[in-house]
Structure 1
């Protein structure tokens, strides 16, 4: 039994909510067209709802789309920059990779969220519209994001960025997969020798290919949540299996399973948000342990009894409001380069 198994006990507030509002049935996980339609009509609007009503005045920030060349074409990136652009000020940098299993989502998905984060924390954000599966198999998503990141570093003046003030890579769910993979790539790439990442933010991340679970000799009792939480709301084990079949990639590829990287030494301070009722729960706990043993600073917020990205599906919960507040606290910690570690959530 995992030391975190008790975190799967359903949150009382969510339990009461589900009695009045049973979980919505998802389309079949093998019906890509139906899932894409569901994502556009249901998932993305819900993800945007919290932040849409909290947007600051337009005068407080600038939004600009850019085209970035990638292998075989070009992609869009969207920058949000605080201020009007007249003051010549430079800001820390948050590079963002959206979730959606590397199959769904686009540059609009987290747009309102990033507008709020940019103005609240006074950071430039860049949201990358990487190409998705099944039309583009992994590692296209990672390669697109890496090209966009290099473009940003070459255009810091255009984006009003000061990397010395902070250089963070972040993502949610499969966006966390990309963020973790990018952080390792950046550490190892000479292009970034003078511009190292100062923090990474991993929200409900997917960090281990599910087929790699059978080769877990080094961590036999640390990846049990996929089975324990296989039939919970929002994300099921069946959907995870389908996702990996759809995106391609090898179960032994450390860029798809960052826990398998040869070394984790030299990675930056990392902020985790982990949901107790999430099949991916133990991915994050394992990666947190690996990073700490490699000498990295980490800060972890845990949400017992709550499913994957619950704050999107159940925004009225008090825990969802806390999740949003914790994002701001955790990012400020990263902007402070991991100094003065805030209180770790109790397990």
Structure 2
């Protein structure tokens, strides 16, 4: 049998009220081949018929099952166990990382990395006073193309999460220690831009290894709508490099041995 692959779990976005795992199928097939990781796409029940925390709980139950059955995906947690997602999916992935950190079930098999694209990390109708000066993109890009604050607020209402629940408003968490290394991509013309920036700051303050790439002028999910633009190609290439960076961090001894042999 060939050596098992690192495992990457992807959670789709679409606001938690529409879509399914297959909307990202082609994109992730390319990711799997280019980065040499095994990719598992999660599905979950959607709001408003199934409001918060139904979708989050679905993903958590799935994550536990995946952690116990990695061989079915030709993967091994020892080679990397990375949680990923875009926008709302990134919100779910981050919430799962917090849960897994504190759950004895994941002892010895906790996620080793977190990869987030244009993450939604705070309820659109909530702006904590202590972070107000760091969330300027909510104002400067309030009416941005493709995604704006009004639409985000409507989606959050349908999702049904309380304003200050830390499993939706992730930024409200107090303890960021012992979370996995995190890679974040943010769009420069996205009202969510500064939430990704702020998460990186909070993780850095807690000693978590981080990496962030920003794409000036790109609207939310613009890489999907304008795939032939050079900035979108940069996004894709950076994402694959970010995943490979997380995989490398997950197996430091293996990489140390490889480096010493050069």
**Counterpart position of 2:158:** 246
Q: For residues 149-160 of structure 1, what are the structure 2 equivalents within 5 Å?
A: 149-160=63-74
Q: Which has the larger radius of gyration?
A: 1
Matched, 1:333 2:254: no
Aligned to 2:178, which of 234, 247, 266? Answer: 266
Partner secondary structure for residue 60 of structure 2 = helix
Match of 1:278 among 166, 187, 190: 190
Cα shift readout 1:264-323 (whole Å, capped 9, x = no counterpart): 100111001011100101111111101100111110100011110101111121101111
Q: Give the drift of 1:88.
A: 4.6
TM-score (norm 1): 0.70
Is there any run of 5+ residues in structure 1 with no aligned partner, and where? Answer: 1-86, 341-347
Aligned partners of 2:121 and 2:169 also within 8 Å: yes
Determine helix, strand or coil for the equivalent of 1:170: strand
Which of 199, 204, 207 is residue 287 of structure 1 equivalent to? 199
What is the match of residue 118 of structure 1?
Answer: 32
Question: Matches of residues 209-224 of structure 1 in structure 2 within 5 Å?
Answer: 209-213=123-127, 216-224=128-136
TM-align CA RMSD: 1.4
In structure 2, what is the Cα distance between the partners aligned to 1:211 and 1:190?
34
Please identify runs of 4+ aligned residues in structure 1 that moved more than 2 A: none
**How far 1:135 moved relative to its partner?**
1.1
TM-score, with structure 2 as normaliser: 0.93
Distance 1:316 1:113 in 2: 14
Contact persistence 2:124–2:149 (CA under 8 A): no
- The offset of 1:138, in angstroms, is 1.1
Local SS of the residue matching 1:307:
coil
In structure 1, C-alpha distance between the alignment counterparts of 2:231 and 2:2, rounded to whole Å: 39
Shift of 1:99: 1.0
1: CA distance, partners of 2:196 / 2:159 = 21
2:105 paired with 1:191: yes
Matched ranges for 1:82-93 at <5 A: 87-93=1-7
Distance, in Å, in 1 between the alignment partners of 2:169 and 2:240 is: 27
SS at match of 1:220: helix
Contact preservation (8 Å) 2:181, 2:210: yes
For the pair 1:296 / 2:208, whether they are aligned, the reply is yes
Contact 2:4 2:76 in 1 (8 A): yes
8 Å contact kept, 2:149–2:191: yes
Q: Distance in 2 between matches of 1:93 and 1:230?
A: 36
| Residues 111-120 or 246-255, more deviating | 111-120
Distance in 2 (CA, whole Å) between partners of 1:218 and 1:293 is 16
Match of 2:119 among 205, 210, 216: 205
Q: What SS does the aligned partner of 1:142 have? A: helix
Deviation digits for residues 103-158 of structure 1 (CA, Å, limit 9, x no counterpart): 11112111111211112222111101111111111111111111111111111222
**Aligned residue for 1:231?**
143
Deviates more, 1:164-173 or 1:152-161: 152-161
Residue number in structure 1 paired with 2:259? none
Q: Give 1:37's aligned residue.
A: none
Q: Report the equivalent of 1:313.
A: 225
Partner in structure 2 of residue 52 of structure 1:
none
Gaps of at least 5 residues in structure 2 are 256-262
Task: Tell me which residue corresponds to 1:75.
Answer: none
Alignment partners' CA distance in 2, 1:188 and 1:262: 14
